[in-house]
Structure 1
Amino acid sequence: MIKDMDTTEDVNKQLERLGYNMGIRLIEDFLAKTGSGRCLDLKDTADKIQTAFKMYLGVQPNVANWSAAGDEFSFILDTNPLTDLVEIPEDLKNLKYCNLICGAIRGALEMVQLEVQSWIVQVKLQKYFHHNHE
């Protein structure tokens, strides 16, 4: 992708799109395997996303930084399998490799009629994601 696209920002957008397409497909598998019903609120959504992280990535993020309105929260990953075997060279320090995860969350939730924004807050470690419900 880096060779095919003009800017790191274009690559970041493409990574998010790839994740989005994965999320669209993963949600059916998740619902079938867990028997989950409709989310009751955003806290329930966060719990189910934690379960999905455990199922598909083998890690469980901590939920933190809830907004006063209860419509935003963060996931904090102590370990991230997407970054364990990846080294990003200094000249690509703006590459957001974990945009795949942000896109997967957005795609999966959109398929269950929940529109969200998801982004990486702490780019340096690429282990800190933030979400809010629009």
Structure 2
Amino acid sequence: MYLGVTPSVSCSSAAGNEFSLILDKNPLVDFVEELPAERASLCYCNLLCGVIRGALEMVHLAAEVTFLQDRLKGDAVTEIGITFLRKAEDRKHKRNK
């Protein structure tokens, strides 16, 4: 939402704990022309993984967020894989009367 793009969602797990966000256009790529040869392993857009993981932690969801495809590495799209590490616990809130 903050980047001005809407990802498509692809569920790739029968267990329902894993899915991918696919970005056809990644605005962060516009700021990088070409990675230097000595920095070819650098994942410039890994910032997005940290933002998503941090947002999920804020709502108490532990997840592993990784890049599966990156346009800077020559892929057609940017794909971010998200795997939830454990189920969210149902918490019952008690009211004091």
Query: Percent identity over the alignment?
Result: 51
Please give the TM-score of this superposition, normalised by the length of structure 1: 0.56
> What residue number does 1:82 align with?
28
Tell me which of 5, 9, 12 is aligned to 1:66: 12
Please give the TM-score of this superposition, normalised by the length of structure 2: 0.75
Tell me which of 116, 119, 131 is aligned to 2:66: 119
> What residue number does 1:102 align with?
49
Larger relative helix fraction: 1
Map Cα deviations across residues 6-55 of structure 1 (whole Å, 9 max, x no partner).
Answer: xxxxxxxxxxxxxxxxxxxxxxxxxxxxxxxxxxxxxxxxxxxxxxxx2x
Matched residue of 1:132: which SS? Answer: strand
Matched residue of 2:50: which SS? Answer: helix
Larger relative strand fraction: 2
AA aligned to 1:133 is F
Which blocks of at least 5 consecutive residues in structure 1 are unaligned? Answer: 1-53
Moved over 6 A (4+): none
Map Cα deviations across residues 71-95 of structure 1 (whole Å, 9 max, x no partner).
Answer: 0001111000011121222321110
> What residue number does 2:89 align with?
none
> Number of aligned pairs?
80
Q: For residues 8-47 of structure 1, what are the structure 2 equivalents within 5 Å?
A: none
Matched residue of 1:74: which SS? Answer: strand
Map Cα deviations across residues 59-79 of structure 1 (whole Å, 9 max, x no partner).
Answer: 011101431111000111100
Say whether 1:131 aligns with 2:82.
Answer: yes
Matched residue of 1:108: which SS? Answer: helix
